[in-house]
Chain A
Amino acid sequence: MTETPRFLRPVTMQEADIGHAVTFEQPLALDCGRSLAPTTVAYMTYGTLNAGKTNAVLVCHALTGDQFVASDHPITGKPGWWTTMVGPGKPIDTDRFFVICANVIGGCMGSTGPAEIDPETGKPFGLSFPLVTVRDMVRAQKMLIDHLGIEKLLAVVGGSMGGMQTLQWAASYPEAVRAVVPIACAARHSAQNIAFHEVGRQAIMADPDWKNGEYQLAGTRPSKGLAVARMAAHITYLSEVALQRKFGRNLQNRNALSFQFAPDFQIESYLHYQGASFVDRFDANSYLYITRAMDYFDLAEEHAGQLADAFRGSPTRFCIISFTSDWLFPTAENKRIAHALNAVAAPVSFVEIKTDKGHDAFLLDEPEMFGTVRGFLNSVAAGIA
């Protein structure tokens, strides 16, 4: 009898309830040339699938999100990450729609990712996990949708990396999705965004506890590196105006400068808190893999540089939303998608919402965004009623 070794999981999720999970035995061919088998997709659903299976809405999560879009997070106990958008009576109304949200492959909330055990070696994948792309993530989601017996999604909705997935859905499976709502995203990751991601990855890899990605075997956790990665990234999710408004030069728990390097300013302790709370729920290697997937995203690339060709003849309806103060995925990038769609006369709506809350605005209380999404989904649903 062989004893199965117990590895330290990167986060405390071994006891966590990941919701539903389905494991596909057939190999999932990846863009990198390798394939995954078996592939597990962890997901949550909300609402009820109607008899005709015409009311399914897939919500795609962002870099550090997960399947808990509208219910409490099993590790942090906090409410779902998009309860303002998804729920009974909300714009993505779970009283009307059957909402599905799946953890991306490469993630760390139950879907196959670098923290999971490689069946070939019996050890955690670590860096032997194949590089996945946004298209691979969408391929896994398509397997889930097929598994659920849904031929055509009413809509795919997502912000940031979730928005990239909505675009990939429209490009890869135009017949399987009636409408997509890409929010605060781009059809390609910009040089600046790749640069910020590289800073985050280098912070993780510079942490001695990262152990070349084998920290689970070593029984360590590169928490400091991951926290720094999160801190740097978090700045890009906000806007200068919002930071100034919220924190200014306010001091934290003191009346005067300390003349030391302990956090003097509120913005410093805020970032420390963001970093510290993140490492409790996220795996460092997953962060490497998913940021890489975003870096590799360029929808035009698979169409000889012509973004418009990705959507040529597409029957899918698009509703693109951007935010004025988002400098990570600025309006210009979102408009580029709208222009490409116009060039092939695809049905597209584009709304730029005025806010000073930066990229994070898509997760926050933005009534104009809610009104837009609600009106758009209603009109899509009315088209099949």
Chain B
Amino acid sequence: MIASIPQGLRPDLAAIAAMIRPGSRVLDVGCGDGALLEHLVRTKNVDGRGIELSQQNVNACVARGLAVVQGDADTDLADYPARVFDAVILSQTIQATEKPRAVLDHLLRIGRRTAVSLPNFGYWKVRLSLLVGGRMPRTRALDYSWFDTPNIHLCTLADFVDLTRLCGAETVEAHALRENGTTAPMQPSAWGPNLLAPGAIFLLKKS
């Protein structure tokens, strides 16, 4: 199955959007300028909320009419009660958190389902870049020098799958991102996507 991509929405966001049920209550952690949240509110009639670190982004969200709170995933998720959201989204953010495990634990507690998208540090171009270049890789998805990157906790897809197990989460769906911007279903523990996919999207739940 290849998810259809709404106009202008980043491929990983489109894949996440496809996982969200219409009319559900959604929390987007690290919602950026609100593109995904606005898309979900408009097309799926969700009751959407966001948390975002950057003031500029929060203001942009509020000006778009979105309910977004300025805050930090590392510190503010503890204030949210359990199971108030049908789905919690963490897109391209986990690698920038201080405590990825604590953040994931909170997400699994707050939401009935948790959608996580992340860049794959095990992608062959990243591996090759380090092997051949001998320097910390810079890719399209991770275009920072090692000394000023906000991405302080990079991992491979295999590493992330290990974390989901540590957190006691069950993978409901997993989709590998492809170079051409489409997505394809993947087995969470398959070695192929860990080498070939620049990123992936996981839908998790914890009973």
Contacts and interface: CB of A to CB of B under 8 A. Distances in A.
Mostly, the A contact residues are: helix
Interface stretch (B13-21, B68-76, B120-128, B177-185): B68-76
Given A317-B67, A338-B69, A345-B85, A351 B80 contact: no
Contacts of B172: none
A379 B64 contact: yes
B25 A375 contact: no
B64 A349 contact: no
A92 interface: no
A378 B25 contact: no
A351 B79 CA distance: 17
B59 interface: yes
A342 B63 contact: no
A368 B59 contact: yes
Nearest to B81: A343
A334 to B, nearest CB: 10
Nearest to A341: B69
B47 interface: yes
B61 A349 contact: yes
B62 A319 contact: yes
A1 B77 CA distance: 72
Interface residues on B, range: 20 to 34
B87 interface: no
A165 B62 CA distance: 22
Contact of B69 (A342, A353, A374, A382): A342
Interface residues of A, number: 26
Interface string A295-335: 00000000000000000000001010000000000000001
B64 A375 contact: yes
Interface in B81-106: 81, 84-85
A33 B61 CA distance: 44
A371 B59 contact: yes
Contacts of B55: 351-354, 368
A349 B84 contact: no
A376 B70 contact: no
A379 B71 contact: no
Contact of A376 (B49, B65, B85): B65
B62 A376 contact: yes
A320 B112 CA distance: 27
Interface in B13-50: 25, 47, 49
Nearest to A336: B79
B81 A375 contact: no
A375 to B, nearest CB: 3
A378 to B, nearest CB: 7
Contacts of A319: 62
Contacts of B58: 349-352
Instruction: Find the residue from B25, B69, B80 having the highest chain A CB count within 10 A.
Output: B69
Which of A339, A347, A351 is most buried by chain B, counting CB atoms within 10 A of its CB? Answer: A351
Contact of A372 (B49, B62, B69, B80): B62
B52 to A, nearest CB: 10
B63 A350 contact: no
A375 B79 contact: no
A352 B62 contact: no
B61 to A, nearest CB: 7
Interface string A120-152: 000000000000000000000000000000000
Contacts of A335: 71
Nearest to B47: A347
B66 interface: yes
A26 B48 CA distance: 43
Contact of B49 (A347, A351, A353, A378): A347
A342 B27 CA distance: 10
Contact of B65 (A342, A348, A371, A379): A379
A345 B67 CA distance: 11
A378 B65 contact: yes
Given A343-B81, A347-B67, A375-B64, 17 more contacts: A342-B79, A343-B79, A343-B80, A345-B25, A345-B84, A347-B49, A349-B58, A349-B69, A350-B71, A351-B59, A353-B55, A368-B55, A371-B63, A372-B59, A376-B63, A379-B64, A379-B66
Interface of B: 25, 47, 49, 55, 58-59, 61-71, 76, 79-81, 84-85
Interface of A: 317, 319, 335, 338-339, 342-343, 345, 347-354, 368, 371-372, 374-376, 378-380, 382
11 contacts: A345-B49, A345-B81, A347-B49, A349-B58, A349-B69, A352-B70, A368-B55, A371-B59, A371-B63, A376-B63, A379-B66
